[in-house]
């Protein structure tokens, strides 16, 4: 099948998603790529795949469907005469007039989750059959459990981990208090953060760092700079014990799924797109009782709503973190087998097959 794709290729969320979709689709389909920005890859294999897809675009099939993997407010440019399919990844429950205008221009809309599909249907007039759930995936050849002989965590501190760019939306303003209120100086625990946000100023980045490094348990906190490749990310993830994601809203949360695929335990909110793959069997879920206007005065200004994390939710996060630490201390923290199974089910191959079934 011939498919035209307009998308970025880089190490940010949209870029990693687009790269993996193109790699999976290219195995059995003819993909023409029209990149948004300059493609950035981290391996020779990826470079060859992307180079071939760009080469294909010179003689593209103008009657083929065109998928634009990009923001919902920028859905005007497509290639050829085929179906115009938008694939936005969004976090809020409400769209602006601009976003509605662009989304209404599409023949079909691909979304990552059933939560996102309901957001689309509640915001614009479109045939429900033209809104298709295309779950994203994880590369389980990279993000895989350690062999028993490789176990590097026994007798080490219980390491909690968060990955995702510095944002109020991701709960980074709350996580520092959760950690400090859950443990004390005598607890053998650490919090690792891989949260560099390339869209922040130096002053804004310093603010987030100081929030953690000036806190009570600063000596137990490690901030890791942005890494160059998915293999580098895995080399960090394999060392940790549990991911903690006090997120108010997510468009997917790939890092959470990657941790699951590694067999790591995860604690997260029971709200938004990651509910597509998070359940009580593979996650420690913190139920959300109320929503609040999404506002951080940086990226969000009250347009829609996201999860409200109150005292009850914070206490639940703490309870789960203490439980994980007790298991680790007693050498009873086993692999998250349901998480591993989830990672195998949510593969990029499955993503590609679902796309083909819906174009």
Contact of 236 with 255, CB cutoff 8 Å: no
138 part of a folded domain = no
The CA distance from 4 to 11, in Å, is 21
Same-domain check for residues 33 and 161? no
Within the chain, residue ranges assigned H as helices are 13-26, 44-56, 97-103, 114-123, 172-182, 202-213, 230-237, 254-261, 311-329, 337-345, 348-358
| pLDDT for the residue 227 | 87
| pLDDT for the residue 148 | 57
267 part of a folded domain = yes
How much is the average pLDDT of 54-69? Answer: 98
Structure tokens that stand for 182 in this block: 């859950």
How much is the average pLDDT of 113-130? Answer: 97
352 part of a folded domain = no
CATH number at residue 120: 3.40.50.11930
> How many CB atoms are located within 10 Å of the residue 56 CB?
18
Same-domain check for residues 157 and 105? no
| pLDDT for the residue 154 | 54
The CA distance from 252 to 214, in Å, is 31
311 part of a folded domain = yes
| pLDDT for the residue 146 | 86
Q: What is the mean pLDDT of the chain?
A: 95
139 part of a folded domain = no
CATH number at residue 165: 3.40.50.2000
Same-domain check for residues 102 and 226? no
Domain boundary among the residues 133, 167, 196 is at 133
Same-domain check for residues 296 and 156? yes
Same-domain check for residues 45 and 188? no
Domain boundary among the residues 133, 156, 190 is at 133
Same-domain check for residues 34 and 97? yes
pLDDT > 90? residue 282:
yes
Q: How many domains does the chain have?
A: 2
Count of residues in the chain: 359
The CA distance from 147 to 135, in Å, is 28
Same-domain check for residues 23 and 120? yes
Please tell me what DSSP assigns to residue 229: S
How much is the average pLDDT of 103-108? Answer: 97
77 part of a folded domain = yes
Domain boundary among the residues 133, 167, 200 is at 133
The SS3 of residue 32 is: strand
Same-domain check for residues 331 and 191? yes
What is the residue-wise DSSP string for 44-63? HHHHHHHHHHHHHGGG--TT
Same-domain check for residues 157 and 74? no
264 part of a folded domain = yes
The CA distance from 21 to 219, in Å, is 40
Structure tokens that stand for 271 in this block: 């709200």
Structure tokens that stand for 95 in this block: 């769209």
Contact of 134 with 166, CB cutoff 8 Å: no
pLDDT > 80? residue 147:
no
Same-domain check for residues 204 and 257? yes
Contact of 284 with 263, CB cutoff 8 Å: no
Structure tokens that stand for 239 in this block: 């060392």
| pLDDT for the residue 42 | 87
Same-domain check for residues 189 and 307? yes
314 part of a folded domain = yes
- Summarised one tens digit per residue, pLDDT across range 182-221 is 999 999 999 999 999 999 999 999 999 999 999 999 999 9
Same-domain check for residues 88 and 155? no
pLDDT > 70? residue 95:
yes
pLDDT > 90? residue 237:
yes
| Owning domain of residue 277 | 148-345
């Amino acid at each position: 099948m011939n498919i035209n794709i307009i998308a970025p290729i880089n190490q940010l969320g949209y870029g990693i998603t687009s790269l993996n979709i193109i790699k999976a689709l290219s195995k059995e389909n003819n993909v023409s790529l029209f990149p948004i920005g300059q493609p950035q890859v981290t391996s020779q294999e990826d470079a060859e795949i992307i180079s071939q897809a760009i080469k294909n675009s010179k003689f593209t099939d103008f009657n083929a469907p065109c998928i634009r993997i990009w923001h919902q407010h920028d859905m005007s440019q497509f290639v050829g005469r085929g179906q115009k399919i938008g694939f936005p990844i969004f976090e809020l429950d409400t769209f602006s007039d601009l976003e509605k205008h662009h989304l209404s221009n599409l023949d079909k809309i691909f979304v990552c989750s059933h939560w996102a599909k309901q957001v689309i249907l509640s915001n614009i007039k479109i045939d429900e059959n033209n809104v298709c759930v295309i779950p994203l995936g994880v590369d389980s050849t990279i993000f895989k459990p350690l062999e028993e002989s490789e176990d590097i965590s026994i007798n080490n501190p219980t390491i909690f981990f968060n990955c995702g760019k510095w944002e109020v939306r991701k709960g980074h303003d709350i996580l520092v208090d959760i950690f400090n209120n859950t443990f004390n100086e005598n607890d053998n625990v650490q919090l690792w953060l891989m949260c560099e946000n390339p869209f922040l100023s130096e002053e804004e980045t310093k603010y987030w760092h100081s929030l953690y490094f000036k806190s009570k348990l600063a000596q137990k906190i490690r901030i890791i700079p942005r890494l160059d490749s998915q293999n580098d990310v895995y080399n960090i993830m394999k060392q940790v014990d549990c991911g903690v994601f006090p997120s108010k809203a997510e468009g997917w949360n790939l890092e959470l799924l990657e941790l699951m695929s590694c067999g790591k335990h995860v604690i997260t909110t029971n709200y938004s797109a990651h509910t597509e793959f998070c359940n009580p069997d593979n996650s420690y879920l913190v139920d959300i009782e109320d929503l609040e206007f999404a506002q951080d005065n940086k990226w969000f200004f009250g347009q829609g709503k996201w999860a409200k994390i109150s005292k009850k939710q914070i206490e639940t996060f703490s309870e789960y973190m203490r439980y994980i630490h007790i298991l680790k201390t007693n050498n009873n923290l086993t692999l998250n087998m349901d998480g591993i199974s989830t990672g195998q089910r949510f593969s990029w191959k499955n993503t590609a097959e679902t796309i083909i079934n819906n174009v």
